[in-house]
Copies of this chain bind each other. A is one copy, B any other.
Amino acid sequence: MSANTFGELFRVTTFGESHGPALGAIIDGCPPGLAIDEAFIQAELDRRKPGANRYTTPRREADEVKILSGVFEGKTTGTPIGLVIENTDQRSKDYSDIKDLFRPGHADYTYAHKYGFRDYRGGGRSSARETAMRVAAGAIAKQLLAQMGITVRAAMTQMGAIHAEQYDWTQVYENPFFFPDPARLDDLDALIRQLKKEGDSIGARIRVEAIGVPAGLGEPVFDRLDADLAKALMSINAVKAVSIGDGFAVVEQRGSEHRDEMTPTGFSSNHAGGVLGGISSGQTVVAEIALKPTSSIKKPGQTIDVHGQAQTISTHGRHDPCVGIRAVPIAEAMMALVLIDHILRQRAQNGAVSHQFPILK
């Protein structure tokens, strides 16, 4: 219980179900004096929302965020920022046909056991709809980070067997897949069409980076920067794995290969992904996540109903063939929230990172 708050000093608390009247968040701990760009918050929400392009679900979500407190004359006041988004399209009836069925691969079975209660309205709190508030809060975190010269960016680097072979970040915002390799866009398009025809779905890999992070962020031994990133990213719906730097590839690496050597002009490589001993090194922070294919598909599957009887299920709701696409802005938001929280925590220590030692890039 009471697990809907993220962060220690920059705290985001959220509420709201996919088919309730509204979603909301309280951001507690935002420093005063930050000029808030509401248009930017809305733009971030628009990137996440379904129906943004023909590859994601056509469901309409207005996702218009209202700021209810904490901002006066355009600037943050240091008091909690209240945010609300009304749910304008609730269509519970879409789900009435599976009212008594547990959906394989979904949270409804586990929620039923945890709470002794069943909200059949499209997942209720377990719906990805909840992540809208993470993106809104992340947009405010990004504005704080921008003031410090820190940029967070993410891209979908793999969908099914289709890998990005080049990383052209300028392309990521230019295509509906947030994909950095334009040469593979047709393949992605073809795969999505095929999946729709088959009534199936596919997984995805997302890479998220933070550029300009100063050395010294992270709180050993438990609240390490990489540990908090792992939690933040794993808490996103459908994520099944998180890696930092070379990730699982380190299993086959030698120490002489993995260690990033240091020279007066900088690190010679970044196998570590910008984190050493749980603390940022000043290099780019690099993480990857794996998103499972959604289980809400037309293809029939075996399941049980609330009475334990065998049933066949086929989901006819409006769903993404690849939920990974929409997770790109969510991953950016979570990394932004982790970074700003650790910046505030580091400030508490002495207001600034020490500069008595050489700084490498």
In the A-B complex, the 5 residue pairs with the closest CB atoms: A107-B277, A116-B354, A105-B259, A3-B219, A2-B29
Residues of A within 8 A of B (CB-CB), count? 167
Q: Which of A1-45 contact B (CB under 8 A)?
A: 1-11, 13-17, 20-24, 26, 28-33
| Min CB gap A47→B, angstroms | 20
Structural contact, A250 and B79, CB atoms closer than 8 A = no
Chain B residues whose CB sits within 8 angstroms of the CB of A257 once the complex forms: 293
A246 touches B240 (CB 8 A): yes
Query: A28, A84, A241 — which one has the most chain B CB atoms within 10 A of its CB?
Result: A241
Given contacts A31-B350, A113-B353, is CB(A72)–CB(B230) below 8 Å? no
Chain B residues within an 8 Å CB radius of A252: 160-161, 202-203
A263-283 CB contacts (< 8 Å) to partner B: 263-264, 268, 271-273, 275-282
Contact A68 B15 (CB under 8 A): yes
CA distance A200 to B258 in the complex (A): 11
| Residue A70 lies at the interface, judged by CB distance under 8 Å to chain B | yes
A325 interface residue (CB < 8 Å to B): no
Q: Are B261 and A303 in contact (CB under 8 A)?
A: yes
- The answer to whether the Cβ of A301 comes within 8 Å of any Cβ in the partner chain is yes
- Comparing A123-131, A146-154, A168-176, A177-185, the segment that makes contact with chain B is A123-131
